[in-house]
Amino acid sequence: MRLSEETGPSRDLQGRRAIITGGGSGLGFIFADALAAAGADVVICGRRAEVIQAAAEQLARHGVAAEGHAFDLSRPEEIDRFKAAVGETDILINNAGYSIRRDSWLEVTAAEWQEVMNINLMAPFLLAQRFVPGMMERGFGRVVNLSSVYGLVGANPDHYPDMASDNTSYVASKHALIGLTKNLALRVAHAGVTVNTLSPGMFVGETRQARTDGVVPGQKTGELLLKEIPLRRFGREADLRGLITFIAGEGSAYITGHTFVVDGGFTVG
């Protein structure tokens, strides 16, 4: 994990506070780092206390307040404890996600299905319930739900010869998250709060290897996925940093219920 050298042209989010779930590593850390570089105080949350604390120390180097909290957001009572611990926020990035893969959708158990839904769908909804009312009272708020290209299309098993190819519960949860985004956007727009979805494709970098939906593919899978990307490359940190700062800031005030797809054209064809 490292801080990017790109801090952006300004600190447009100075005075704002942002919560990023799953912010200790991967894309979550990229989002937290980008928002901190833009001047926002940041609160990150994850299950692994040591990872979260180390990430918070890194983020504080931007000269902002950075808090790290270890909670299991798949449990409603933990979400209540998290809210009590951190108070209010201006920006909520629902990044934490989870996937269980099996060789066949017929092997997925009810317990596994529910586990994925708890993290990928229930937690973003309950977090919105806890934090959005305060945003509405203050007349400003930004909610960003992290979906995936597999919230837009199905996951073709032919692209994943190196691993168990079925992630039906993940795909269903990410499609549903886009629906949740659209519905919540209609409920809170009148109060100056926007709700949007960010759907990344396949990314590479020091914080996230060539992957999608939390799985690092083998060489054959990587080659097949790359052929499906019209830009013929995997994503990089820079492809997300400016976008998350824009969605979280004043410049996106007239955009809500939208899905920002960052996939090099993967879902176009």
Answer whether 220's CB lies under 8 Å from 161's CB.
yes
Query: Measured between alpha carbons, how far is 224 from 112 in angstroms, rounded to an integer?
Result: 28
Residue 104 tokens read as 């066949």
Query: Measured between alpha carbons, how far is 7 from 9 in angstroms, rounded to an integer?
Result: 7
Catalytic residue among 98, 150, 160, 170: 170
- Sequence-distant (6+) residues with CB within 8 A of 76 are 122, 126
Answer whether 157's CB lies under 8 Å from 166's CB.
yes
Q: What are phi and psi of 220, to 5 degrees?
A: -65, -45
The yes-or-no answer on residue 254 being catalytic is: no
Q: Give the relative orientation of helices 238-248 and 26-37 as an angle to the nearest 10 degrees.
A: 60
Q: Which residues are catalytic?
A: 170
